[in-house]
Chain A
Amino acid sequence: MARETPAAGFTSPGAESQLFVDLYRRMRLIRRFEDSVQTLFQQGLVHGTTHLYSGQEAGAVGVCSVLGDDDRVAATYRGHGAALALGVETEGLMAELLGRATGVCKGRSGSMNVIDLDHRLMGCFSIVGGSIGAATGMALALKRTGGVAVAFFGDGTANQGYFPECLNFARVFDLPVVFVCENNRYGEFTPFEQVTGGAILDRPRILGIHAETIDGNDVWTVRHTAAAAVERARAGEGPQFIESLTYRFVGHSRSDPGAYRAPGELDEWRKRDPLTVTRAGLGDRYGVSAEALDEIDESVEQELAAAVEAASNAPFPEPGPVREFKGG
């Protein structure tokens, strides 16, 4: 059923519909990208370790959809979703994971440390909490330009030193930063309640930071909440905090079979798969047909297949001299 009036910020129901269809496509691209990474990893073509975003797609896609050209994002070792949500080239990202010369960092960074400043990704930080420090500093610089910094991080980060130090730092200087805690219920292999005193949301609140917990698998909710938070930050109201409840459908990393999950828990969350939720919402809200969405899925398959093929055929970088410092 199409709604009669467009949601806030849209000039027509058609514009709103098209935007969320685009967001669905990006979420689908992330899911299938991660599926490909898993396969390539099992084939020994993606090396070391890798952390997949499968199940959490609505978070990065919803938040990044409200950002402007002057805004910047710091993500984590589980950063492929944020990268693709920001528009990092699919082929370049895949090539990076494959260690190829055509990768966005020419094979220097790998899965966990991707940087693409042209696409507003100041970095993926592979130490828990690093993204919070990076975004806090970025906000110090963006205060001069009207930009907003966003930090993505997980529930486990609430217990890392960066968290209290940087939230307080951002608060006392009213920095334009949005802290997005993607609570996927597990810090690596351990349920977060088991190692976390009190509620995560109480921590920013006690510092006087506007904070709310939302359904992180609903892209409409995420986008709406992020838009308001970014607007407040941009208006000079200081740091904002969003706890986005979600679930990863895969293990923490390659070595994790997920044995810690409660029986049935994964199945319950799969019913709230952000892709399923978005498909249903597109139909209910705007009357987008399943066939139209299937066509989008097919276009994602084609884009991804082309990216994987090109990345797989790209050369490895040649070992050679490295400039340790800029300017010698």
Chain B
Amino acid sequence: MAELEFRDAICEALDEELARDDTVVFFGEDVAKPGGVFAVTGGLQEKHGPERVFDTPISELAIAGAAFGSAVGGLRPVIEIMFADFLPLVMDSLVNQSAKYWYLSNEQKSIPLVVRTAAGAGGRFGAVHSQMPVSWFQGVPGIKIVCPSTPGDAKALLKAAIRDDNPVLFVEHKRLYSIKGEANGDVATIGEAKVVREGGDVTIATAMRGVHEALAAAEELSAQGVEAEVIDLRTLRPVDTATVLKSVEKTNRLVVVEEGPRTGGWAAEVLAQVLEDGLGDIDDAWRLTTPDHPIPYSPPLEDDFIPGAKAIAASILGR
């Protein structure tokens, strides 16, 4: 199987779903003719036409409202919110309209809607173009949050998100766009975590770029005789704690690594669920997150801000 970049895996998923289902439409700022600011979606408009793939005004609230309303009307819209930091502008439509429709309507209609967004720090974009939006939506019933770490998962999970009948926030970490990997035409199951490295001494549960940092940390730890099991959560809402619980039965130690603010983050939610259901198996459980302040611009400050491989390994050895 040929290797391809994460960004191309996403484009392939969009292309295949647009070709498969005429009700799928895709729109956002600079996504069609320019092909997206992260060069993800080039060529889709030429292939599928301007009625189904189009550039919008810089009007995030209108984009989200248009997606919601068109989903009520029978389409399956995929929208791109260029940077996750712009998601606060779409909060009303996503939170008060799309996420609640299935329940409020007494199940008359669900909202099949995908919001793709580029997120995450490490690109020197500063405090307002580097944030991770997961915890903003963690407390919103009715929305799924998908966070892939590899090209293969990005493609299979995006295809699943587009076929899902519910609103899905699909988070693409900016620092992963250029990584390469294999991707086939499979459709993944949303809500399933994956053990990506086996080990018996400690469980590291994480997502997105954190998976790559955790795997690097596990190699460092292995050299010192500590074998870490690494779990790629892949979906953060609903989160697959069963896979984490199964792992901690064996390791008895759990660290959750989150690129996101410590207070109110998804790492806290994972810890809470695991402690509720698996306290007897736990000898130690903690989280490694970003600190509770805005993301700094200066390279050494930003590098220190993100929980990387060295910090993960040091944290585990320091317990």
Chain A residues close to B by CB (< 8 Å): 72, 74, 104-106, 108-109, 113, 115-118, 122-123, 125-127, 129-130, 132-142, 149, 161-162, 165-166, 168-169, 172-173, 322-327
Hey, which chain B residues are within 8 Å of A162, CB to CB? 61-62, 65
Chain B residues close to A by CB (< 8 Å): 25, 54, 56-57, 59, 61-75, 77, 89, 92-93, 96-97, 100-110, 141-142, 144, 164-166
Interface of A is mostly: mixed
**How many Å from the CB of A58 to the closest CB on chain B?**
26
CB pairs A–B below 8 angstroms (9 shown): A108-B106, A115-B106, A115-B109, A122-B73, A132-B65, A133-B62, A140-B66, A140-B69, A165-B59
Hey, which chain B residues are within 8 Å of A172, CB to CB? 57
Are A138 and B61 in contact, with the CB atoms below 8 A?
no
Hey, which chain B residues are within 8 Å of A149, CB to CB? 69, 73
Hey, which chain A residues are within 8 Å of B56, CB to CB? 169
**How many Å from the CB of B121 to the closest CB on chain A?**
28
**How many Å from the CB of A220 to the closest CB on chain B?**
30
Are B65 and A324 in contact, with the CB atoms below 8 A?
no
Are B73 and A141 in contact, with the CB atoms below 8 A?
yes
Chain A residue, CB-CB nearest to B92: A127
Chain A residue, CB-CB nearest to B68: A137
Hey, which chain A residues are within 8 Å of B70, CB to CB? 137-138, 140-141
Alpha-carbon distance between A137 and B93 when the two chains are bound, in angstroms: 11
Are B59 and A168 in contact, with the CB atoms below 8 A?
yes
Are A322 and B108 in contact, with the CB atoms below 8 A?
no
Are B65 and A133 in contact, with the CB atoms below 8 A?
yes
Alpha-carbon distance between A136 and B74 when the two chains are bound, in angstroms: 14
Hey, which chain B residues are within 8 Å of A140, CB to CB? 25, 66, 69-70, 73, 75
Hey, which chain A residues are within 8 Å of B61, CB to CB? 133, 161-162, 165-166
Are A117 and B105 in contact, with the CB atoms below 8 A?
yes
Chain A residue, CB-CB nearest to B110: A326
Alpha-carbon distance between A118 and B166 when the two chains are bound, in angstroms: 20
Are A125 and B62 in contact, with the CB atoms below 8 A?
no
Are B62 and A115 in contact, with the CB atoms below 8 A?
no
Task: Tell which of A105, A130, A161 touches B104, judged by Cβ atoms closer than 8 Å.
Answer: A105
Are A127 and B75 in contact, with the CB atoms below 8 A?
no
A-B pairs, top 4 by smallest CB distance, nearest first, are A137-B69, A133-B65, A141-B73, A165-B62
Alpha-carbon distance between A122 and B66 when the two chains are bound, in angstroms: 13
Alpha-carbon distance between A116 and B108 when the two chains are bound, in angstroms: 8
Are B166 and A323 in contact, with the CB atoms below 8 A?
no
Are A137 and B166 in contact, with the CB atoms below 8 A?
no
Are B141 and A324 in contact, with the CB atoms below 8 A?
yes
Chain A residue, CB-CB nearest to B102: A326
**How many Å from the CB of B50 to the closest CB on chain A?**
10
Alpha-carbon distance between A190 and B25 when the two chains are bound, in angstroms: 41
| Interface-centre pick from A130, A133, A142, A326 (highest chain B CB count, 10 A) | A133
Are A325 and B102 in contact, with the CB atoms below 8 A?
yes
Question: Given that A122-B72, A166-B65, A324-B142 are contacting pairs, would A105 and B165 also be in contact in the complex, using a CB cutoff of 8 Å?
Answer: no
**How many Å from the CB of B273 to the closest CB on chain A?**
15
Are A326 and B106 in contact, with the CB atoms below 8 A?
no
Are A326 and B107 in contact, with the CB atoms below 8 A?
yes
Chain A residue, CB-CB nearest to B55: A172
Alpha-carbon distance between A125 and B62 when the two chains are bound, in angstroms: 15
Hey, which chain B residues are within 8 Å of A134, CB to CB? 65, 68-69, 72, 97
Chain A residue, CB-CB nearest to B113: A137
Are B108 and A136 in contact, with the CB atoms below 8 A?
no
Question: Given that A125-B97, A133-B97, A168-B57 are contacting pairs, would A322 and B66 also be in contact in the complex, using a CB cutoff of 8 Å?
Answer: no
Chain B residue, CB-CB nearest to A168: B57
Hey, which chain A residues are within 8 Å of B66, CB to CB? 133, 136-137, 140, 166, 169
Question: Given that A134-B69, A168-B62 are contacting pairs, would A123 and B101 also be in contact in the complex, using a CB cutoff of 8 Å?
Answer: yes
Hey, which chain B residues are within 8 Å of A104, CB to CB? 106
| Interface-centre pick from B57, B61, B141, B164 (highest chain A CB count, 10 A) | B61
Told that A133-B68, A162-B61 touch, could you supply 9 new A-B pairs with CB distance under 8 A? A105-B108, A136-B65, A136-B66, A137-B71, A140-B66, A140-B69, A140-B70, A140-B73, A169-B59
| Interface-centre pick from A149, A173, A326 (highest chain B CB count, 10 A) | A326
